[in-house]
Amino acid sequence: MSRHLLKRTLKYLTLGGLGTGSGYFLYKNDWEVSTIGVVRFGRAAFTALWIVADYKIHLRGIDYESPEYEKVKSEIHCRSALRLRELCCSNGGGFIKVGQHLGSLEYLLPMEYVETMKVLHNQAPQTPVTELFKVLEEDLGQKVQDMFVQIDPEPLGAASLAQVHKATLKDGTVVAVKIQHPKVKKHSFVDIKTMEIPKIYWDLSSERVLTMEFCEGGKVDNREYMKQHKISVDEVSRDLGKLYSEMIFVHGYVHCDPHPGNVLVNKTADGNTEIVLLDHGIYQSLTDEFRVNYCKLWTSLIKADLEGIKKYSTAMNAGDMYPLFACMLTARSWKAISSGIDKQQYTKSEDDEIKSNAATYLIQISEILNRVPRQLLLILKTNDVLRSIEYALQTRASSTSFINMSRCCIRAVAMDSERKCNTWTGWLQIRLATQWQLFKIDIYEFFLWVQTSSVVRFMSRKNNVIAL
């Protein structure tokens, strides 16, 4: 018995010694326990178990169709969303990116989650300005007061990797200074014409500090701001869709973090609407083969070409699950896809069906995400964020977005065919066929415009009669 006790004592002393020694080593080397991968993983696992237990315990025995069930479920949604947000803030880095993404999925997640996580778009955990001053001085080699007349201590926005402060240079120029959180490097060891790019002040920028032109504007999902500044919501939605269609289908180089905190809209001096894309930290380069197949897949989806959908979904490794894959890409039901997503209006019943199926097919969705090319994963995330912006602007699934997408797909496929063509006559044939396809789209767009204009004129005339 005493021998067994001695073994246990030696075991605990050894473990205790290792723990104490490791803790001392981390302390002396300026590490924080919260940045260690196993600690962050453990925290995430505990939070997940806590959330699952909350649902199981408090919904047990309540009638699924009763008002009490909905009330209790909403309360659990709120508690669980808060726990998730606390987890994201505690773990930082990529966890905040995940939280920001969850805050953009209005069309998929319960609103309790969306509203709770949405604050991470601009209100991620903040670093005290005194700590940021150290980063500035370390990287730029000057005292803060020698570089700036003033730096607003309140950040304009704080995100997962950095936060932005409004500042004034010595010559009176107002700038935005983006400074990396001091702990980002430590986390990284574990986590490893409608667009304007702001001017960079390179002499006041470094690996961890970014000083750039201050861009005026409101968040892209702020309808009230657009109303106040007489900015067309439809125009913003159309231009943003056109911008991303060009990046994805034509150029194959895509900004993959377009959450509302990273996209501003404003009215220029000449009265045009301008979209300003911020935070160029996450880009995805697409191979030509992937890009062209993706163009052909979307062309098939828009045309309701079921054979084409199957063929190009298979090229993306979706296999027999191509109907579910098509639903994931379009965020539409298979019935709507089969009938033509550019013709079928998005309805409340379809929305309810999609949200219900998202949970039912979770395992299959995970399998598809494991199968598809890695370059598609960030595109899917980007599509989700863009749809959430459309949802907020109430312009979701408009015909205009499909028209712009079709134009880009046709151009991209034609460019690829021209590159592979070896004869002048073949090149001419491709060019004529492309122009004919684009002309048909122009005619279709004009037809839609005439229809809309007629309705508008009729409604205006009706309102005038009522006023009289």
The contacts found for 216-219 with CB under 8 angstroms, 24 or more apart, are 216/264, 216/266, 217/264, 217/265, 217/266, 217/274, 217/276, 218/264, 218/265, 218/266, 219/260, 219/261, 219/263, 219/264, 219/265
The residue behind tokens 């063509």 is 421
Task: Answer for the pair 397, 332: CB distance below 8 angstroms, yes or no.
Answer: yes
- Tallying the residues shown for the chain, one arrives at 468
**Which H helix or E strand runs over 273?**
strand 273-277
Specify the 3-state DSSP secondary structure of 105.
coil
Task: Answer for the pair 129, 166: CB distance below 8 angstroms, yes or no.
Answer: no
Specify the 3-state DSSP secondary structure of 166.
strand
DSSP string, 171-236: TS-EEEEEEE-TTHHHHHHHH---EEPPPB-GGG--SSEEEEEPPP-EETT-HHHHHHTT--HHHH
- As given in the structure block, the two tokens for residue 449 are 């415009």
Task: Answer for the pair 278, 324: CB distance below 8 angstroms, yes or no.
Answer: no
The residue behind tokens 């994963």 is 377
Helices (H), 332-423: 334-339, 348-360, 362-371, 374-393, 399-420
| 352 is known as an active-site residue | no
Q: Tell me how crowded residue 182 is: count the other CB atoms within 10 A of its CB.
A: 15
Pairing of strands 253-255, 283-285: antiparallel
Type of residue numbered 254: V
Compute φ and ψ for 86, nearest 5 degrees. -65, -40
Type of residue numbered 350: E
Spatial distance between the Cα atoms of 139 and 135, rounded to a whole number of angstroms: 6
From 221, 239, 257, 342, the catalytic residue: 257
Residues known to be catalytic: 257
